[in-house]
Structure 1
């Protein structure tokens, strides 16, 4: 299972403390040292609306460049893609399509239908630049404003995308999903987009994020988003809390017999470190409890 580290983007975007570019780059560097190889490093969002991401270009200019590390930039519209292309620092773009109109208006200032139309433009621009393009369906498990979102509705949005994504990410943006929904969503989306790699994005708002991660593994999802330290959330969703924690997810997967290529001790240290930079206690548990079995002592 591949873990996509989203702490530098989704983790930081909902935190009140604004970190320096240097601290963000160190956060990313520490994640790489812990074995992470896909990192959602920045969002190309309007700096007045998401000030935590205002230095996206500066971050990408300073991060380590390794042949096996892929940097992802989140974009919400064509303007975001133009910034991503101008920065010449991203390897992939992640386009967010919100499943419901009210949340889409609050998050991106447009309807879901208008956002879907922009996906085709963004995907074409990314492909022309040689970049991989992921379509993330946000609020795929439920919306804080309009309630339930069905798997059939999400699959219909995916089917309506004229440009085939390289990857589809199903996002439980507000942490309301349960494993049954994971199974339904994966089944419905796979039926309309056969052969497209699936990724999932879970928040632990109601303590179901890790159960959902195991369900995604069972149903053949190839990548899971997580945030080192378990920090973050969506600034446009009420009572949003952090993503599932990278270190806790890696521990769960490793103990379940699934390799992630990451090192637990370094992940846990990074989670504690970034929480200290933010002046908070990390929601992640591994940094407090430690891995099991504990490392052998000399």
Structure 2
């Protein structure tokens, strides 16, 4: 079995950090991720810099991305203006649209209702396709909302069906605030897979309550083909209370490597890159492999 990894560290990993990371350091992070074997990388989000200051240099990052036809650089966009900015950069090969499963979070995150966010996401996918790029969509708050609490599975499935008609390459289910548990992840992945087949399902999972790695495994067993991860376990949403870090790339790769599941990423290089990132951020990162190290241990 092979599982695809989307590395979201340069965007989701950094977006909630108060310490502004220099453009050159973001590009250095991307270079290190490529050296680790990452082939789909969420490079930046083209959003209002007043709302997400960490992404104020998105155009500079996109303009300086390496010329690597073998790598898909993803630009996250929330509206037509963001899509226009992203599409101006030829090395952004894929637009990542985001819609939200609940009204209150959609209004806080994007200034529109849930239904309006779905319509905008479909338009972004269409714009990407018209420009000769690809588009994908993420359903935020698929497993729970910071404002409305529980989210009905039927609502998420219905949104996925609407998005599928726009022609994305995949649809992602996001546990934006890290409330999901494995049983819920497996059940919703199976339901959405059945509803949108043959489109693949991707998952975006946060480790806020310590269930992230277990949720990754449950998603894979339920048929998810692609997993979002962030180097070091950095991440969070500025508009969702308590949305702590993503599942750490190196932790997920350790689990998958030891389980005989190929990803194409090099664990030891990821651990080294995570330690470099910790130094850059001047703090310990949530990921466990940077502390524990690989097993079996390297020869001394």
1:233 aligns with 2:242: no
Distance 1:196 1:243 in 2: 24
Q: How far is 1:123 from its partner?
A: 1.3
Deviations 1:120-149 (A, max 9, x none): 221111001111111100010100110011
SS where residue 87 of structure 1 aligns? coil
Taking the TM superposition and a 5 Å limit, the aligned residue runs for 1:109-120 are 109-120=111-122
1:184 aligns with 2:154: no
The two structures have a TM-score, normalised by structure 2, of: 0.96
1:281 aligns with 2:274: no
Equivalent residue, structure 1, for 2:11: 9
Contact conserved, 1:152 with 1:188, CA < 8 A, in 2? Answer: no
Taking the TM superposition and a 5 Å limit, the aligned residue runs for 1:56-95 are 56-95=58-97
Contact conserved, 1:2 with 1:224, CA < 8 A, in 2? Answer: yes
Equivalent residue, structure 2, for 1:149: 151
- The answer for unaligned runs of 5 or more in structure 1 is none
Equivalent residue, structure 2, for 1:36: 38
The two structures have a TM-score, normalised by structure 1, of: 0.97
Distance 1:4 1:119 in 2: 19
Equivalent residue, structure 1, for 2:297: 294
Q: How far is 1:164 from its partner?
A: 3.0
Which of 98, 101, 123 in structure 2 is aligned with 1:99? 101
1:124 aligns with 2:126: yes
Moved beyond 4 Å, runs of 4+: none
Distance 2:202 2:170 in 1: 7
Report the more deviating stretch, 178-187 or 138-147.
Answer: 178-187
Distance 2:123 2:174 in 1: 22
Deviations 1:4-49 (A, max 9, x none): 1000000000111101100000000000001111000100110000
Report the more deviating stretch, 205-214 or 154-163.
Answer: 154-163
Report the more deviating stretch, 115-124 or 193-202.
Answer: 115-124
Distance 2:193 2:55 in 1: 33
Distance 1:192 1:258 in 2: 26
Equivalent residue, structure 1, for 2:213: 210
Distance 1:67 1:80 in 2: 23
1:252 aligns with 2:255: yes
Distance 1:57 1:15 in 2: 19
Contact conserved, 2:187 with 2:222, CA < 8 A, in 1? Answer: no
SS where residue 91 of structure 1 aligns? strand
Aligned length: 297
Deviations 1:184-211 (A, max 9, x none): 2112212221100111010000000000
Report the more deviating stretch, 188-197 or 93-102.
Answer: 188-197
- The answer for unaligned runs of 5 or more in structure 2 is none
Contact conserved, 1:8 with 1:41, CA < 8 A, in 2? Answer: yes
Q: How far is 1:239 from its partner?
A: 1.5
Distance 1:150 1:182 in 2: 13
